[in-house]
């Protein structure tokens, strides 16, 4: 009987030796692939039972008992962007920053942060609108043409190279293989963005803030939520989890430390790899 996430494939142990002989010749394709491969080989040599199992390889050369996590951060450049970059480099993991056009020109500090993000090898930039709907979401989504114009303005002003986007104030998905809208009143605007060529990505798990705009709860709670989503197959695409939080929640020492510990524990579990959102399954296909 399956007890937890880490034991999902143990019942296939007898085929493991054969699979490992073929799998060890394949390079893992991820932002931390060298470290991850080294740790994986160490696991096998140290008699970890979870490592001895059938290991199928998917289209991105990721061993199938690994789960993929996409770290995404909204509303940048903003307070906390510099702290985010420090954490990513400390842990050598990649992430996607969904940027707001107006924020990039909000102050000299934000302009500098945009340049830091643009030059950073670990960070991918994506579109989170130009105005963030002025935080008037219901009114914003009533006018699909204005929504498209807002995203086009952000794309041009931020000089974005792709049309990957996230809608402000809404968890909306519009990809070839995923269609979801949290509030149906936003359907027309979402479909219009898709028809305009935008690939809209929502999220599977959000680390929300306190009323003081700090990360709510702790990393242990978030790790349990990650395991629960994968165990119960609640992610939009199986084995791929899109994680969301915001730059502006990373301004106090506790929040910075909790996010750092969250990423560290995910890495040390040796069950996950990290990717940028442009590597999400089928995201680069031409939309129907």
Q: What one-character-per-residue DSSP string does 103-138 give? A: HHTS-HHHHHHHHHHHH-TTEEEEE--SSGGGG-HH
Question: What pLDDT was estimated at residue 63?
Answer: 53
- What are the tokens at 62? 């990721």
Sign of CA dihedral 201, 242, 101, 138: positive
Chain centroid, CA 58 distance in Å = 19
- 3 state SS of 92: coil
Q: What is the DSSP letter of 161?
A: S
Tell me which of 45-49, 120-124, 201-205 is least confident. 45-49
Q: What value does the mean pLDDT of the chain take?
A: 85
What does the pLDDT average to over 226-246? Answer: 98
More confident residue, 39 or 249: 249
Contact 243, 69 (CB under 8 A): yes
Q: Distance between the two ends of the chain, CA-based, in angstroms?
A: 41
Please count the other Cβ atoms lying within 10 Å of the Cβ belonging to residue 242: 24
Taken in order of first residue, the domains within the chain and their CATH numbers are 5-51 (no CATH), 67-279 (3.20.20.370)
Contact 160, 96 (CB under 8 A): no
pLDDT greater than 90 at residue 57:
no
Please report which confidence band the pLDDT of residue 61 belongs to, taking 50, 70 and 90 as the band edges.
low
Please report which confidence band the pLDDT of residue 287 belongs to, taking 50, 70 and 90 as the band edges.
confident
More confident residue, 22 or 241: 241
CA–CA gap between residue 192 and residue 198 (Å, rounded): 9
């Amino acid at each position: 009987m399956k007890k937890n996430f880490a034991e999902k494939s143990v019942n296939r142990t007898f085929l493991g030796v054969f699979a490992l002989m073929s799998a060890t010749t394949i390079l893992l394709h991820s932002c931390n692939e060298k470290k991850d491969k080294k740790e994986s080989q160490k696991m096998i040599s140290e008699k970890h039972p979870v490592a001895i199992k059938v290991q199928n390889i998917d289209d991105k050369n990721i061993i199938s008992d690994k789960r993929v996590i996409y770290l995404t951060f909204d509303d940048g450049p903003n307070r906390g962007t510099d702290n985010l970059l420090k954490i990513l480099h400390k842990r050598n993991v990649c992430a996607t920053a969904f940027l707001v056009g107006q924020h990039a020109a909000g102050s000299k500090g934000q302009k500098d942060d945009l340049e830091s993000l643009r030059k950073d090898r670990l960070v991918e930039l994506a579109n989170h609108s130009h105005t963030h709907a002025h935080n008037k979401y219901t009114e914003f989504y009533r006018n699909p043409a204005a929504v498209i114009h807002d995203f086009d303005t952000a794309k041009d002003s931020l000089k974005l190279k792709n049309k990957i986007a996230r809608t402000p104030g809404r968890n909306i998905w519009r990809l070839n293989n995923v269609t979801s809208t949290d509030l149906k009143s936003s359907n027309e605007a979402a479909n219009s963005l898709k028809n305009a060529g935008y690939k809209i990505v929502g999220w599977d798990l959000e680390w929300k803030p306190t009323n003081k705009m700090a990360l709510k709860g702790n990393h242990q709670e978030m790790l349990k939520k990650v395991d629960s989503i994968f165990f119960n197959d609640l992610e939009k695409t199986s084995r791929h989890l899109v994680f969301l939080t915001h730059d502006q929640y990373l301004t106090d020492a506790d929040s910075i430390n909790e996010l750092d510990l969250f990423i560290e524990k995910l890495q040390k579990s040796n069950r996950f790899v990290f990717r940028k959102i442009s590597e999400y399954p089928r995201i680069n296909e031409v939309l129907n």
